[in-house]
Amino acid sequence: MDISSTKLPLILIFVLVGILLLQFITNDNNAPVIDPETCELYLLDSQINSKHYLDEFDSKCLDFKNLNK
């Protein structure tokens, strides 16, 4: 297949859209989230719409907050 082919852009678009869909499908919804106020990691509980804190802190967030003082 030549790089100047008219089919190549279509094939690349389909491949990139397929990769994007695969990323959305395999996205982990239970990934820890960082609380911007306390830098503490938590999980979102979708059944009761609340935060479950893990008693762990993000070191990069804490360092950034210390720089702003």
* pLDDT of amino acid 8: 86
Q: Which residues contact 50 (CB under 8 A, 6 or more apart)?
A: 44
- Please indicate whether residue 1 or residue 7 has the higher confidence score (pLDDT): 7
- Please indicate whether residue 17 or residue 46 has the higher confidence score (pLDDT): 17
Q: Is the pLDDT of residue 61 over 90?
A: no
Question: Quick one: pLDDT band at residue 53, thresholds 50, 70, 90?
Answer: confident
pTM, entire model: 0.50
The one-letter amino acid code at 16 reads L
Q: Which residues contact 24 (CB under 8 A, 6 or more apart)?
A: none
